[in-house]
Homo-oligomer: A and B are copies of this chain.
Amino acid sequence: MSERPKLLRVLAGEALSPPPIWIMRQAGRYLPEYRKLRSTAGSFLRLCLTPELAAEVTLQPIKRFDFAAAILFSDILVVPYALGQEVAFLEGQGPVLGLLRDADQLDVDGLRTRLAPVFETVRLARRSLAGETALIGFCGAPWTVATYMVAGRGTADQLPARRMAIEAPARMQALIDVLIEASSRYLLGQIEAGADAVKIFDICTGVLDNEGFERWAVAPVRAIVERVKAAAPHVPVIAFPKGGGARLAGYAEKTGVSAVAIDWTMPMQMARDVIAAPTALQGNLDPLRVVVGGEALDQGVDAILRAMHGRAHIFNLGHGITPETPVENVERLVARVRRRR
């Protein structure tokens, strides 16, 4: 019998020393094996929707670093794609989306068919992983996905979505409601295919005021958690409300998530004070410390380990890994967390 994955033990509230580690966007451009595969795989969206390739990318960082968890290789924008909005990833420009339709024209019922390749990726990856390695599925949070769907692209301040939320809150709510339903079905499909835990990425919450944070960040995540728990009560949900800051007080209770991922701007000691046990905390090394390496990296790691001693903690970065990160710095990071140097 294989060992129960450490990641799941921590997500159940157990403190482990050393903590399990994985890193956000661990499969990606900083890895030469990813760049090699990417260069022959065609479009980025096609790569996300080709199970054999996406599964291989999902496993690449596990082969190299033996992380405690693999995370599905995909993108948050496969949901708008599956709902019928055009999505293209242009080299050097980031994602570009077609015209946003009215919420009632978005095709929630077609989602599971259109995203069947993602579920197949999860099946393939789960089959190749050892029992002690958890597989994390994910989606973007409704607010974050909506900011792309409304603007048609990534935006610095999410002005178009923020404007819609003020000018036409009922229209925004209708879009969010569709995304709640779509995201829940999408996560449940991943869970049926073998995901051991799921993560909801809400990376655009920093621009919301407190009222907006409650309505557009907290309430939709709670709605997804309720739907996931109803069908899969034992699968833990991690949320990453980037930019939540002081508003994270009460976030876990209100949403029902098992863990909160913390961005690099909030010290883990403060996160620990603000978010009560047994909620697990994930994070939060500044990705730039991994780019820089050396003392800056070691000090950052040590400070987090000290602050989280005795608390359920998953070591991770406080934001996605930067493409120019030297691989040897990731090796140093992993060894440091595992106390091997």
Residues of B within 8 A of A296 (CB): 166-167
**Contact digits for A212-247, partner B, Cβ 8 Å, 1 yes 0 no:** 000000000000000000000000000000010110
Q: Among A11-19, A41-49, A251-259, A285-293, which stretch is in contact with chain B?
A: A285-293
Residues A288 and B166 in contact in the complex (CB < 8 Å), given A210-B267, A265-B207, A265-B208: yes
Roughly how many angstroms separate A98 CA and B167 CA in the complex, as a whole number? Answer: 40
Residues of B within 8 A of A162 (CB): 286, 288
Indicate if the CB atoms of B267 and A163 lie closer than 8 Å: no
Contact of A289 among B166, B206, B207, B322 (CB under 8 A): B166
Indicate if the CB atoms of B206 and A265 lie closer than 8 Å: yes
Roughly how many angstroms separate A208 CA and B159 CA in the complex, as a whole number? Answer: 22
Q: Does A34 contact B (CB under 8 A)?
A: no
Residues A156 and B159 in contact in the complex (CB < 8 Å), given A246-B246, A265-B208: no
Q: Does A30 contact B (CB under 8 A)?
A: no
Nearest CB to that of A206 among chain B residues? B206
Roughly how many angstroms separate A266 CA and B289 CA in the complex, as a whole number? Answer: 29
Q: Does A270 contact B (CB under 8 A)?
A: yes
Residues of B within 8 A of A264 (CB): 209
Roughly how many angstroms separate A206 CA and B205 CA in the complex, as a whole number? Answer: 13
Interface of A is mostly: helix
Kindly provide the distance from the CB of A22 to the nearest chain B CB, expressed in whole angstroms.
21
Nearest CB to that of A156 among chain B residues? B156
Nearest CB to that of A294 among chain B residues? B167
Nearest CB to that of A159 among chain B residues? B288
Contact of A286 among B209, B246, B289 (CB under 8 A): B209
Kindly provide the distance from the CB of A214 to the nearest chain B CB, expressed in whole angstroms.
11
- Size of the chain A interface, CB-CB below 8 angstroms: 27
Kindly provide the distance from the CB of A130 to the nearest chain B CB, expressed in whole angstroms.
35
Roughly how many angstroms separate A145 CA and B156 CA in the complex, as a whole number? Answer: 19
Residues A265 and B209 in contact in the complex (CB < 8 Å), given A156-B156, A245-B246: yes
Residues of B within 8 A of A291 (CB): 163
**Contact digits for A252-284, partner B, Cβ 8 Å, 1 yes 0 no:** 000000000000111100100000000000000
Roughly how many angstroms separate A211 CA and B264 CA in the complex, as a whole number? Answer: 11
Can you name 11 A-B pairs with beta carbons within 8 Å? A162-B286, A163-B288, A163-B291, A166-B286, A206-B265, A209-B264, A209-B265, A210-B267, A210-B270, A211-B267, A245-B246
**7 residue pairs, one from A and one from B, having the closest CB atoms:** A246-B246, A167-B292, A245-B245, A156-B156, A163-B288, A166-B296, A209-B265
| 20 more A-B residue pairs beyond the given contacts A206-B206, A210-B270, with a C-beta to C-beta distance below 8 A | A156-B156, A159-B288, A159-B322, A162-B286, A162-B288, A163-B288, A163-B291, A166-B288, A166-B292, A167-B292, A207-B265, A208-B265, A209-B264, A209-B265, A209-B266, A209-B267, A209-B286, A211-B267, A245-B245, A245-B246
